[in-house]
Structure 1
Amino acid sequence: MLPRELRITRPQDFRRVLRGGRRAGRRHLVVHAVATPATDRPVRPARAGLVVGRGVGPAVTRHRVSRRLRHLLRPRLEALPAGTDLVVRAQPPAADATSAQLGDDLDAALARLRLTD
């Protein structure tokens, strides 16, 4: 579980990231990112939100994918610049992906967005 301060929970924050941010797509997921300028808010840690829709599979499968993504996101959030908001959208192939595959796609997407090395 991600601590509350590391989660995006408000619908308007999800919309802001999905509509106004940059994105990088991979086979199993799409990562949307937006950096909040330091002048808008006090410095806060990077946050993440997940979107795992019905296209991924039934509820059990969606929850399994969500758990894997949360587990993979936690250490990566610490490495991101403060004030960064991420939304990770799982694609239908994520249902059959291993944690290693999801982690590789997440790392590749973050690198493409130039958020990590």
Structure 2
Amino acid sequence: MKRFKYPFSGFLRLVTKDSHYVLHLVSAVCVIIVSYFLSINMTEWLFILSAIFLVLLTEALNTAIEEVVDLVTSDFEQHAKYAKDIASFAVLLSSIYAALIGVIILLPRLLKLIGVL
């Protein structure tokens, strides 16, 4: 159990410091519930879960990078800004990937469910 102490501490820091991470978690739970009720197949589950975990992973790394940059300098430094901006861009890319996966897998089923397709 000692090995889980630090990851749980990191998780608690994430959810208390980063409101975006909480939003990603809530979104992930909603997508999982919708996916379950839409009876997606095993391959689709793999894509949905990979997208969810990719977003959660990149958001966690983004927050870690922000913490380290803030530790190193409290003054404005152009390279510190670049580091934060690039990490933020990684989150954006993973979020776009997740949105595309959702559109490809879930949207047709949802449209069919409401009678549009």
Tell me the TM-score normalised to structure 1 length.
0.28
Higher relative contact order (CA 8 A, sep 6+): 1
Tell me the TM-score normalised to structure 2 length.
0.28
Q: Which has the higher helix share?
A: 2
Rg comparison, structure with higher value:
2
